[in-house]
């Protein structure tokens, strides 16, 4: 134990007391005797709510997902709910879970603690996608919601996402207030004695309410019917959308949906992929094989909890290519605004939302349609917050983020891959009705609004030292920002932590009208934007790059795209992130 920091040792020794079960105590003793490195990583900090809530590796320790950390989080949440809604005789919470290992177990622990505190619980009878939980919170008029999920993280992770009464993930002040409640909660304070009479199961009949309301979002149902034979391959990558996406596509009118049988198996070990992340090309391999087999028009994959969507389409050579999150958001935003305009649905009250690291092309498109747009901090919870603030005043059309999350309409207050699958299919059917593909449509948007090319570099730095290294990187860029990058002058520096937008040319400072966040942006003289931020849910620092140029003709797409990619590569090498 001499190699372990004294504070870490003291934290671990608490877990050897009788308040913890024997299995937990046994594992702590094993780490003390045999694996002090694992002990240090398990106890050097507490799990905290980030942009996605509580998320971590499963196991014993304060920095792990386990019965006690989930119990303390739930007890703290229960205390906060009871304080926040004192006039309610019986507050209620909806709970859903994904396919991950221990998700059912953590769901049961969560329900037990909530009901032990006198809170009504609505819990789904089986795994369900995250957006359905957000829908349930609003539909059932709950005070909060919880999803047990680690989204697209590796199999050893699980998580705990909390939603407030508006159906959106926690935002200030609720997130910090709940953390304060959790921090004050000792393991001895957790009430594990459930009251089963306060639990109501949500079954497939509830799903049908959601599907019926999704169907009303269709902008061209007649086009869908006339192109019901659109060839679609879909995979849930072993996750929660295995039933709902095919059902939703059928409700939209699409009849030729092919699955990937091996990936329809719900399995928290994700046996057919290295990572269940639709942002990664490897996760698409089996779906693309199926697409070539059936000559599909469209390939779609969701992450395990069903809020992120990856899309594959054919290019002009008949080869399948994968769209990134910005491209998918571009297609959907343009399609929705164009159809609303054609149907005289734009009244001047409509708006869209994107995050500050998402392509500025969405803003350009909105401007062209005279639709208001808002930039918010990274994390879909801030899009949901904007929707809450503008509810009843303006009409939300859609919102997206570069990390493969998109939402159409206001049924839900989180990114929704079920709805997005339907709208991508509808956009493909509409394009087909005009003898176009989605690839043709995307390039035509670039010709009209400019070609934007984006790239993301994530540097993983695990453990205590990794956290220090990430902090040092951010501090260095703040203290000594570069005057130029790859031969281009830095024209603006936006520090979202201090809330200052500094224009180098004008030698003036302007306030940033957003909450403080550990994000730094450099805007170069040609409009290139570089953003850096530590991840709120993973041990990573992320660098976002965005370049743009005019595109005079669709045939020049590849040439201009390669030039922009070359520019991004040079910038990455200059910054040392290449």
Pairwise CA distance, residues 255 & 232, whole Å: 9
Contacts of 77 (CB under 8 A, 6+ apart): 114, 144, 146, 162, 178, 181, 182
Quick one: 459 and 321 in the same domain? Answer: no
Q: Is residue 24 part of a domain?
A: no
The answer to whether residues 15 and 9 touch, using CB atoms and an 8 Å cutoff, is no
Contacts of 345 (CB under 8 A, 6+ apart): 339
- Domain range for 313 is 216-435
Which residues are paired to 56 by β-bridges?
Answer: 158
Quick one: 337 and 246 in the same domain? Answer: yes
Q: Is 134 a catalytic residue?
A: no
Quick one: 392 and 485 in the same domain? Answer: no
- The single residue of 151, 218, 403, 420 carrying the catalytic annotation is 151
Burial per residue of 315-338, b for 16 or more beta-carbon CB atoms within 10 angstroms, e otherwise: beeeebebbbbbbbbbbbbbbbbb
Pairwise CA distance, residues 98 & 245, whole Å: 15
Quick one: 152 and 245 in the same domain? Answer: no
Instruction: Label the pairing between strands 144-148 and 157-164.
Output: antiparallel
Q: Is residue 297 part of a domain?
A: yes
- Name the one residue in this structure whose structure tokens are 């159409």: 408
Quick one: 271 and 390 in the same domain? Answer: yes
Contacts of 435 (CB under 8 A, 6+ apart): none
Q: Is residue 550 part of a domain?
A: yes
| 417-433 vs 325-342: helix crossing angle, rounded to 10 | 60
- Name the one residue in this structure whose structure tokens are 């990936």: 263
User: What single-letter DSSP state applies at residue 503?
Assistant: E
Q: Is residue 34 part of a domain?
A: no
Which pLDDT score, from 0 to 100, does residue 2 have? 46
- 435, 462, 488 - which closes a domain: 435
Which pLDDT score, from 0 to 100, does residue 390 have? 98
**Which residue stretches of the chain have pLDDT < 70?**
1-3, 49-53, 536-537
The answer to whether residues 530 and 521 touch, using CB atoms and an 8 Å cutoff, is yes
Which pLDDT score, from 0 to 100, does residue 53 have? 67
SS3 for 456?
strand
H or E segment and range at residue 533: strand 529-534
Quick one: 50 and 144 in the same domain? Answer: yes
Contacts of 417 (CB under 8 A, 6+ apart): 129, 131, 241, 245, 302, 303, 306, 307, 308, 309
Q: Is residue 14 part of a domain?
A: no
Which pLDDT score, from 0 to 100, does residue 326 have? 98
Q: What CATH code is carried by the domain that includes residue 474? A: 3.30.310
SS3 for 334?
helix
Quick one: 367 and 227 in the same domain? Answer: yes
Pairwise CA distance, residues 548 & 551, whole Å: 9
- What count of residues does the chain have? 578
Pairwise CA distance, residues 130 & 114, whole Å: 20
**Which residue blocks in 165-278 are alpha helix, DSSP H?**
174-184, 204-215, 221-226, 244-252
pLDDT per residue over 43-75, tens digit each?
Answer: 998 877 655 568 899 999 999 999 999 999 999
Cβ count within 10 A of residue 166: 17
Which residues are paired to 123 by β-bridges?
Answer: 95, 201
Q: What CATH code is carried by the domain that includes residue 77? A: 3.40.120.10
- Name the one residue in this structure whose structure tokens are 């509810």: 391
Which pLDDT score, from 0 to 100, does residue 52 have? 57
Radius of gyration from C-alpha coordinates of the chain: 24
Computed from CA positions of residues 416, 420, 423, 425, in that sequence, does the dihedral angle turn out positive or negative?
A: negative
Structural domains counted in the chain: 3
The answer to whether residues 194 and 74 touch, using CB atoms and an 8 Å cutoff, is no
- 175, 202, 229 - which closes a domain: 202
Quick one: 234 and 325 in the same domain? Answer: yes
Quick one: 354 and 382 in the same domain? Answer: yes
Computed from CA positions of residues 256, 262, 263, 266, in that sequence, does the dihedral angle turn out positive or negative?
A: positive
Burial per residue of 446-463, b for 16 or more beta-carbon CB atoms within 10 angstroms, e otherwise: bbebbbbbbbbbebebee
Pairwise CA distance, residues 517 & 496, whole Å: 5
- The pTM for the full model equals 0.94
Quick one: 501 and 388 in the same domain? Answer: no
- Name the one residue in this structure whose structure tokens are 């909530």: 114
Torsion of Cα atoms, 172 then 361 then 478 then 481, to 10°: -170
pLDDT per residue over 1-33, tens digit each?
Answer: 446 788 899 999 999 999 999 999 999 999 999
**Residue 225 CA, distance from chain mean position:** 31
Pairwise CA distance, residues 313 & 321, whole Å: 6
Pairwise CA distance, residues 283 & 326, whole Å: 18
Q: Is residue 442 part of a domain?
A: no
The answer to whether residues 139 and 125 touch, using CB atoms and an 8 Å cutoff, is no
Give the chain's count of helices (H) and strands (E). 18, 23
Quick one: 495 and 553 in the same domain? Answer: yes
Cβ count within 10 A of residue 109: 22
Largest CA distance in the chain: 72
Q: How far is CA 90 from CA 83, 120, 344, in A?
A: 12, 6, 45
Q: Is residue 22 part of a domain?
A: no
Pairwise CA distance, residues 500 & 509, whole Å: 6
Which pLDDT score, from 0 to 100, does residue 548 have? 97
Cis-peptide, bond into residue 173, ω within 30° of zero:
yes
Q: Is residue 37 part of a domain?
A: no
SS3 for 563?
helix
The answer to whether residues 159 and 169 touch, using CB atoms and an 8 Å cutoff, is no
Quick one: 382 and 508 in the same domain? Answer: no
- 202, 235, 262 - which closes a domain: 202
**Which residue blocks in 274-402 are alpha helix, DSSP H?**
285-294, 325-342, 361-368, 380-390
């Amino acid at each position: 134990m001499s190699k372990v920091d004294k504070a870490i040792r003291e934290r671990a020794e608490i877990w050897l007391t009788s308040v913890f079960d024997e299995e937990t105590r046994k594992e702590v003793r094993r780490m003390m005797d045999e694996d002090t490195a694992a002990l240090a990583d398990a106890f050097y900090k507490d799990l905290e709510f980030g942009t996605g809530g509580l998320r971590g590796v499963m196991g014993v320790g304060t920095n792990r997902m386990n019965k006690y950390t989930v119990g303390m989080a739930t007890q703290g949440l229960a205390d906060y709910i009871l304080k926040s809604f004192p006039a309610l005789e019986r507050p209620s919470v909806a709970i859903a879970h994904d396919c991950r290992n221990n998700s059912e177990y953590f769901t049961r622990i969560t329900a037990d603690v909530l009901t032990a505190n006198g809170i009504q619980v609505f819990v789904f009878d089986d795994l369900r996608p995250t957006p359905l939980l957000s829908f349930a919170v609003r539909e059932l008029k709950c005070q909060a919601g919880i999803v047990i999920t680690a989204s697209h993280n590796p199999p050893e992770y699980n998580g705990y996402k909390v939603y407030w009464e508006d159906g959106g993930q926690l935002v200030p002040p609720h997130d910090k207030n709940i953390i304060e409640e959790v921090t004050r909660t000792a393991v001895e304070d957790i009430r594990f004695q459930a009251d089963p009479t306060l639990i109501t199961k949500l079954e497939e009949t509830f799903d049908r309410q959601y599907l019926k309301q999704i169907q009303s979002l269709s902008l061209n149902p007649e086009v869908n019917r006339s192109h019901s034979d659109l060839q679609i391959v879909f995979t849930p990558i072993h996750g929660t959308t295995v039933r709902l996406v095919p059902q939703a596509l059928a409700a939209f009118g699409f009849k030729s949906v092919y699955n990937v049988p091996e990936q329809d198996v719900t399995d928290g070990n994700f046996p057919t992929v290295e990572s269940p992340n639709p942002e990664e090309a490897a996760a698409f391999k089996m779906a693309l094989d199926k697409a070539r087999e059936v000559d599909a028009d469209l390939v779609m994959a969701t992450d395990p909890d069903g809020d992120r969507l990856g899309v594959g389409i054919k290019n002009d050579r008949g080869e399948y290519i994968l769209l990134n999150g910005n491209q998918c958001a571009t297609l959907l935003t343009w399609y929705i605004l164009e159809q609303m305009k054609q149907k005289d649905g734009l009244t001047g009250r409509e708006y869209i939302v994107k995050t500050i690291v998402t392509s500025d092309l969405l803003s350009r498109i909105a401007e062209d349609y005279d639709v208001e747009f808002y930039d918010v901090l990274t994390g879909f919870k801030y899009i949901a917050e904007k929707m809450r603030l503008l509810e009843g005043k303006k009409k939300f059309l859609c919102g997206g983020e570069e990390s493969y999350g998109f939402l159409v309409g206001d049924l839900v207050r989180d990114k929704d891959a079920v709805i997005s699958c339907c709208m991508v299919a509808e956009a493909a059917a509409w394009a087909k009705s005009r003898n176009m593909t989605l690839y043709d449509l995307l390039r035509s948007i670039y010709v009209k609004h400019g070609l934007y090319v984006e790239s993301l570099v994530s540097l993983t730095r695990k453990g205590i030292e990794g956290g220090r290294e990430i902090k040092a990187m951010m501090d260095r860029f703040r203290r000594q920002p570069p005057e130029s990058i790859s031969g281009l002058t830095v024209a603006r520096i936006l520090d979202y932590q201090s809330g200052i937008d500094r224009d180098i040319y004008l030698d003036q400072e302007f306030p940033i009208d957003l909450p403080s966040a550990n994000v730094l942006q450099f805007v170069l003289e040609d409009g290139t934007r570089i953003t850096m931020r530590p991840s709120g849910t993973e041990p990573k620092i992320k660098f976002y790059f965005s370049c743009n140029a005019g595109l005079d003709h669709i045939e020049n797409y590849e040439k201009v795209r390669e030039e922009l990619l070359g520019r991004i590569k040079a910038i990455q090498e200059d910054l040392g992130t290449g």
